[in-house]
Amino acid sequence: MLIIHVVGARPNFMKAGPVIIALSQHKKVHQVLVHTGQHYDHNMSEVFFRQLGLPEPDINLSVGSGSHAQQTAQVMVRFEQVVQQYKPDFVLVYGDVNSTIAAALVCSKLSVPVGHVEAGLRSFDRTMPEEINRILTDQLADWLFTPSSDGDENLRREGITPAKIHLVGNVMIDTLVSLMPQVDTAWLELQGRFDLSSSFGLVTLHRPSNVDDPLALHKIVETLVIIAHDLPLLFPIHPRTRHRLANLGLSVDRLLLTEPLGYLEFLALQNRASFVITDSGGVQEETSFLGTPCLTVRENTERPITIALGTNKLVGHNMPQLRSEVQSILAGKRPSPQPIPLWDGHAAKRIASILL
């Protein structure tokens, strides 16, 4: 049995890793790993293969950056040739990035079955490029592996046949659970590198709605600089944000800016931070699992379970609220998360047994 996995952007690697490992336990399975090249900097791609123990990609489509249409079309044109050459029994796609929808569309036209890992999530905000990718990928997929029951409900409401929907839990948490024993070593190194002797906050931002709009970015960064008077704020900058920040004309000297970090380093920081300020999807999940307060600079989330059971709070673009939430966390008010069903480190094994 031949299975192709398609990955392309940073959050895909943490999702595909445990599924590849779980399927490799089965002798009759041959796996081919295709990297679309959507992300290509060393610290947005290669570092994760090493840290997550992933095999080198068998094929790199090297599509690189571009407009949505360019990127999606390039993946489609190049991936179609791979599918025609390898004739897989099925293809697995991950998450909600452009590489995900592009690969799913290619497969559906060539009548190759597709499994979507992390199906069913909805922000109900169609101005987000990811929301379009989610809805369309789920319409095309033959297996829909959901991380939480809200995903199942969303899919049923959209008319997906219930037999295709499988509630398996969260594969990103599988990666977290398996690599957690390594974070202390990473933490020791980071403590020295960034002089993190007392409490600190961690920041990530990359959503176009926050960073591509200069006014929105200005307001957020201004607020971060104020918060940084109370404690150090470490901000590993996504490349999209790095470009925008350079043109902002605002002094960011108070922030501890750094390049995007490896998975182990970033996990160690999430684990030790007093709070995380983010607009990342995956980080809302990881902080919830770790019990670290998460303040999400978005008006909505496709991961409502992280609010209901985890540590996530939406602050939207209300910067006075962001400041007051930070103050109350620093004053000792912390969320009390509950375990999220099936976020237990075994989601990928469930996927493998359903597929096989």
Position 97 contacts ligand UD1 (CB under 6 A): yes
Cβ-based nearer residue to ligand UDP, 224 or 267: 267
Give Cα separations from 246 to 214, 250, 281 (angstroms).
11, 9, 24
Residue 349 binds ligand UD1, judged by CB under 6 A: no
- Supply the minimum distance, in Å, between the C-beta of residue 119 and ligand UD1: 15
Q: Is 260 in the site for ligand UDP (CB under 6 A)?
A: yes
Whether 323 contacts 219, CB under 8 Å: no
Per residue in 47-71, is it b (16+ CB within 10 Å) or e — as a string? Answer: bbbebbebeebebbbebeeeeeeeb
If the CB atoms of residues 112 and 265 are measured against ligand UDP, the closer one turns out to be: 265
Residue 61: which residues within 8 A CB-CB, separation 6 or more? 34, 35, 36, 37, 74, 75, 78, 79, 82
Q: How far is the CA of 291 from the CAs of 56, 232, 269, 338, in angstroms? A: 33, 20, 13, 9
4 versus 121: smaller Cβ distance to ligand UDP: 121
Please tell me which residue in 5, 39, 206, 238 is annotated as part of the active site.
206
Using the rule CB under 6 A, is 98 a contact of ligand UD1?
Answer: yes
Rule CB under 6 A: say whether 62 interacts with ligand UD1: no
Told to judge if 26 belongs to the known catalytic residues of this protein, a careful annotator would answer: no
Contacted entry of ligand UD1, ligand UDP, none for residue 129, CB cut-off 5 to 8 Å set by kind: ligand UD1
Exposed / middle / buried, residue 231 (Cβ in 10 Å: 0-12, 13-18, 19+)? middle
Examine residue 310 and tell whether it contacts ligand UDP (CB under 6 A).
Answer: no
Could you say whether residue 298 binds ligand UD1 (CB under 6 A)? Answer: no
Please work out the total of residues on this chain that contact ligand UD1, with binding judged by CB under 6 A. 19
Element containing residue 322 per DSSP (H, E):
helix 319-330
Q: Using CB distances below 5 to 8 A depending on partner kind, what does residue 200 bind out of ligand UD1, ligand UDP, none?
A: none
Contact call for residue 129 and ligand UD1 (CB under 6 A): yes
Q: Contacts with ligand UD1 in 65-84 (CB under 6 A)?
A: 65
**Total count of residues recorded for the chain:** 356
The answer to whether residue 149 forms part of the interface with ligand UD1 (CB under 6 A) is: no
Span near ligand UD1 by CB under 6 A; candidates 94-102, 264-272, 316-324, 334-342: 94-102
What is the smallest separation between the CB atom of 240 and ligand UD1, expressed in angstroms? 4
CA distance 22 to 347: 10
Of the candidates 136, 104, 146, which has an alpha carbon nearest to the alpha carbon of residue 4? 104
Beta carbon nearer to ligand UDP, 23 or 234: 234
| Residue 72 touches ligand UDP, criterion: CB under 6 A | no
CA distance 114 to 106: 10
Structural contact between residues 53 and 17, judged by C-beta atoms closer than 8 angstroms: yes
Look at residue 265 and give its three-state secondary structure.
helix
How many Cβ atoms from other residues are within 10 Å of residue 251's Cβ? 10
Residues annotated as catalytic (active site), given as ranges: 206
Contact positions toward ligand UDP, by CB under 6 A? 10-11, 14, 204, 236, 260-261, 263, 266-267, 280-283, 286
Contact positions toward ligand UD1, by CB under 6 A? 9-11, 38-41, 44, 65, 96-98, 129-130, 206, 238-240, 243
